Amino acid sequence: MAIIVDNETKLVVQGLTGSEGRFHGLRNRSYGTNVVAGVTPGKGGQDVDGIPVYNTVADAVREAGANTSLIFVPARFAPDAIYEAVDAGIRTVICITEHVPAHEMLRVYTYVRPKGVTLIGPNCPGVLSPGKSNVGIIPAEVFQPGSIGLVSRSGTLTYQIGHEVAQRGLGNSTIVGIGGDPVVGSGFIDILEKFEADPETKYVVLVGEIGGDEEEKAARWVSEHMSKPVFSYIAGFSAPPGKTMGHAGAIISGSSGTAQAKKEALEAVGIRVGTTPTEVAELVAAAAAV
């Protein structure tokens, strides 16, 4: 098994005819993902390297059986693209688009959440289940199949830690980049819950960063509900207070949201926190070797 995407994924790319959508949509297909359709209003009847393009997501669901959507549209259209996918019956929506306004995402979140749809992003690298399916912009070549679940607010740190794990002869069940915006469709707890229920996942790595309190909430949830070993890395120990570092959600105020505060909260419930991505990989490898 894997979580969110797997061999049963039938992907529609919203924005497939654009340069980014085309590049990554075809790259996902080359990996083995079943890309069944693209959607661009007004371009229905065309195709992208043999992938049929429809005017609406509803058409892609009805004609091609799409069950997962990957969104590559400009920020001003991304909320409507999410609404359209959900209303068409898509059960998993992965939005790569960045610069989606937080107030728009609040509306999206409150609309999507009660419907039980899995929404990943926006401003995220996507989801990869090695050997099964790649939906997004994750460089799948640095990962290999295994039993380590990885969830991260950071894209590049996800890639680095996954590569470090692979270099030690280990692999990942699923890699999930939840995105670094203040409002995202799925938080750490949503993904941890899926990993806890996944028999293929034996260990979990949580990659956090400064800002907010999602890591602290995750620590409390792990202490109460998680039976599998969890390891962590927090980016931003050298970040000056009050500064936004990279992601819109990575801002700290006083002692709230600092890397040290997050590290202490995680360690207080038994989660081992590495000081570098390499150390995290070493901690997981040592646990897996026992």
Amino acid at 227: S
Tokens standing for residue 62: 């009805």
Q: Is the peptide bond before 277 cis (omega within 30 degrees of 0)?
A: no
Please give the positions annotated as active site: 247
Greatest extent of the chain over all pairs of C-alpha atoms, in Å: 57
- Distance CA(53)–CA(49), nearest Å, equals 10
Tokens standing for residue 280: 């995290």
- Distance CA(281)–CA(277), nearest Å, equals 6
Strands, DSSP E only, in the chain?
10-14, 34-39, 47-48, 51-54, 68-71, 92-95, 118-120, 126-129, 133-136, 145-152, 172-177, 203-209, 230-235, 272-274
Helix/strand/coil (H, E, C) string of 103-162? Answer: HHHHHHHHHHHHHCCEEECCCCCEEEECCCEEEECCCHHHCCEEEEEEEECCHHHHHHHH
- Distance CA(189)–CA(183), nearest Å, equals 14
Adjacency order of strands within the sheet including 272-274 = 133-136, 126-129, 172-177, 145-152, 203-209, 230-235, 272-274
